[in-house]
């Protein structure tokens, strides 16, 4: 089985031409195990966290956590609670968020799911710029990009091409000093002491 092409993600990528900051994550890490979740909650006042599943928590179409992430996933659930760590597979032991629209559309589903928590107190963690990061930035979340994926197996060719373009895009945006949208959790600066290992791009 291969991942389907996300037409919405491609079309919304053109938003970046007018507002390139939407493509810039607030935080870049290697993978989800590089986040200190207790510090993220305490320092940034993040009250809920949402994850993309495929290539962020699990290999594509696998319903169990990628084994090197077991300890980090346990810490995340202990920090935010089973009802606060939202993703797409109930077998991972947390609440399920179902959405009819593909990211970066469908922000209302997450907002409604975590009510009454406001968007700026929600972190969104994902491996894709044109879907996950664009989604989180458009909806006022704190965005965390996991720059190293679990596997390319299952990606179709357009998805592979887009993923590699996204890495080049981040490199270009940083060279031009493009910043992510301002976010109150960071108080205008990136206090990255909750990052265990920074990402490569």
pLDDT tens per residue across span 191-201: 567 887 766 65
For the purposes of burial, counting CB atoms within 10 Å of the CB of 68, is it exposed (0-12), middle (13-18) or buried (19 or more)?
exposed
Task: Supply the pTM of this predicted model.
Answer: 0.84
Residues of the chain with pLDDT > 90, as a percent, come to: 48
**DSSP-assigned letter for residue 13:** T
Q: Tell whether the model's pLDDT for residue 46 goes beyond 80.
A: yes
Count other Cβ atoms within 10 Å, centred on residue 48.
Answer: 22
- Of residues 30 and 153, more confidence is placed in 30
The strand pairing partners of 35, in sequence order, are 195
- Of residues 135 and 108, more confidence is placed in 135
- Of residues 143 and 101, more confidence is placed in 143
Predicted local confidence at residue 16, as pLDDT: 81
Q: Tell whether the model's pLDDT for residue 112 goes beyond 60.
A: yes
Q: 29: helix, coil or strand?
A: strand
Structural tokens at position 41:
């909650």
Q: Tell whether the model's pLDDT for residue 169 goes beyond 90.
A: yes
Predicted local confidence at residue 2, as pLDDT: 47
Count other Cβ atoms within 10 Å, centred on residue 125.
Answer: 29
Supply angle C-alpha 122, 58, 28, rounded to 5.
Answer: 50
Supply angle C-alpha 51, 182, 198, rounded to 5.
Answer: 50
Within 102-183, residue ranges assigned H as helices are 107-114, 134-138, 157-175
Rg (CA), the chain: 15
**Which strands, in side-by-side order, build the sheet including 85-86?**
27-29, 142-146, 122-126, 48-51, 85-86
The strand pairing partners of 58, in sequence order, are 54
Write out the H or E segment, with its range, that includes residue 77.
Answer: helix 70-80
Q: What is the pLDDT of residues 53-91, one digit of tens each?
A: 889 999 887 888 999 999 999 999 999 886 666 554 445
Predicted local confidence at residue 37, as pLDDT: 94
């Amino acid at each position: 089985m291969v991942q389907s092409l996300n037409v919405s993600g491609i079309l919304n990528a053109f938003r970046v031409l007018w507002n390139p900051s939407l493509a810039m994550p607030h935080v870049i890490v290697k993978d989800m195990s590089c986040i200190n979740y207790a510090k993220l909650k305490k320092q940034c006042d993040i009250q809920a966290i949402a994850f993309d599943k495929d290539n962020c928590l699990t290999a594509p179409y696998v319903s169990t956590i990628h084994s090197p992430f077991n300890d980090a996933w346990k810490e995340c659930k202990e920090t935010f609670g089973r009802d606060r760590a939202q993703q797409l597979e109930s077998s991972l032991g947390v609440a399920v968020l179902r959405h009819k629209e593909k990211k970066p559309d469908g922000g209302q589903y997450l907002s409604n799911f975590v009510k009454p928590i406001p968007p700026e107190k929600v972190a969104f963690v994902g491996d894709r710029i044109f879907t996950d990061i664009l989604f989180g930035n458009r909806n006022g979340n704190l965005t965390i990009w996991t720059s190293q994926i679990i596997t390319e197996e299952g990606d179709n060719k357009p998805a592979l091409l887009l993923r590699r373009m996204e890495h080049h895009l981040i490199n270009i945006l940083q060279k031009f000093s493009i910043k992510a949208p301002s976010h109150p959790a960071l108080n205008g600066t990136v206090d990255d002491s909750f990052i265990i290992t920074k990402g490569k791009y």
